[in-house]
């Protein structure tokens, strides 16, 4: 993103009456760390977010694939709204609410498969969320982790055919979840509830593409992909420090 675009975003933001800001967490506000527990917001970003929250006409959400318990640990010191587990559960005004009831019986057939892959790939681990199962390989040896992830995707692809399930091939994580859950649907729901004259959505991973795609034809929406790769986003930033720099300018 060039400085002209950045200035334009900032100007539109300042002039807008109803603003919606959607920020992914890992890889967007904090670095992907070996232990997810360490992925805390820096003091600088915390302050920037506090300032953004306090601006008039502002609705700001952290939108993440993390479990709600997990993300709450990092954000409980800030009065911010959160969409967790790719949209399965949402925190507004301090209250967590599950969007809809879904079956998770499919987990029983997926867990043994994930266990097998985990056993064969030291360092990898399984995380269970309300409506999803995630297999993380960021702590595994890189080649072995990648190879096992392809194997897991291959096996899961064969079994999801008859179920309402999808596979997310994320950054060092393979996740399986209900097909009707996703960041795209989550932001659609928000967008339809209110009228916004400015939308900013920032993310770094494949799961963020759903929201970028949803906002593709909205002229008031600025979508930003962090890092390399093909994207539906209209703009790109290189790394977290550039995200922080943009948000900082918006916050003052």
What is the binding site for Mg ion (CB under 5 A)?
24, 26-27, 204-205
Q: CB of residue 51 vs Mg ion: minimum separation in angstroms?
A: 22
If the CB atoms of residues 65 and 113 are measured against Mg ion, the closer one turns out to be 65
Q: What distance in Å separates the CA atoms of residue 69 and residue 84, rounded to the nearest whole number?
A: 9
Which residues are the active-site residues?
24
If the CB atoms of residues 113 and 247 are measured against Mg ion, the closer one turns out to be 247
Q: What distance in Å separates the CA atoms of residue 43 and residue 31, rounded to the nearest whole number?
A: 14
Q: CB of residue 120 vs Mg ion: minimum separation in angstroms?
A: 27
Q: What distance in Å separates the CA atoms of residue 206 and residue 67, rounded to the nearest whole number?
A: 17
Provide the CA 228 distance to its chain's centre, in angstroms. 17
Q: Residue 87 — φ and ψ, nearest 5°? A: 110, -5
Residue at shortest CB range from Mg ion: 27
Q: CB of residue 158 vs Mg ion: minimum separation in angstroms?
A: 28
Q: CB of residue 14 vs Mg ion: minimum separation in angstroms?
A: 27
Q: Are 64 and 26 in contact (CB under 8 A)?
A: yes
Q: How far apart are the first and last CA of the chain?
A: 20
If the CB atoms of residues 106 and 207 are measured against Mg ion, the closer one turns out to be 207
If the CB atoms of residues 27 and 184 are measured against Mg ion, the closer one turns out to be 27
Q: CB of residue 71 vs Mg ion: minimum separation in angstroms?
A: 12
Q: Single out the residue of 197, 223, 193, 220 nearest to residue 209, CA to CA.
A: 223
If the CB atoms of residues 106 and 184 are measured against Mg ion, the closer one turns out to be 184
Q: What distance in Å separates the CA atoms of residue 88 and residue 229, rounded to the nearest whole number?
A: 27
For the chain, how are helix, strand and coil distributed in percent, rounded to 5?
40, 25, 35
């Amino acid at each position: 993103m060039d400085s002209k675009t950045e200035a334009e975003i900032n100007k539109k933001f300042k002039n807008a009456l109803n603003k919606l800001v959607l920020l992914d967490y890992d890889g967007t506000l904090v670095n992907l760390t070996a232990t997810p527990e360490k992925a805390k917001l820096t003091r600088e970003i915390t302050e920037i977010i506090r300032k953004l929250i306090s601006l008039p006409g502002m609705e700001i959400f952290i939108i993440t694939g993390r479990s709600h318990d997990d993300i709450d640990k990092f954000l409980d010191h800030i009065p911010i709204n959160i969409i967790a587990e790719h949209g399965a559960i949402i925190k507004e005004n301090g209250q967590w609410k599950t969007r809809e009831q879904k079956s998770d019986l499919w987990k029983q057939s997926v867990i043994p498969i994930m266990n097998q892959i985990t056993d064969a790939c030291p360092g990898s681990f399984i995380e269970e969320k309300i409506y999803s199962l995630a297999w993380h390989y960021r702590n595994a040896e890189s080649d072995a982790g990648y190879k096992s992830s392809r194997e897991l995707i291959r096996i899961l692809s064969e079994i999801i055919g008859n179920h309402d399930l999808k596979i997310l091939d994320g950054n060092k994580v393979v996740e399986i979840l209900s097909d009707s859950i996703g960041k795209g649907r989550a932001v659609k729901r928000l967008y339809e509830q209110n009228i916004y004259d400015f939308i900013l959505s920032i993310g770094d991973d494949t799961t963020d593409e759903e929201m970028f795609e949803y906002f593709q034809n909205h002229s008031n929406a600025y979508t930003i992909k962090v890092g390399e790769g093909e994207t539906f986003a209209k703009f790109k930033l290189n790394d977290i420090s550039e995200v922080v720099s943009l948000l900082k300018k918006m916050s003052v």
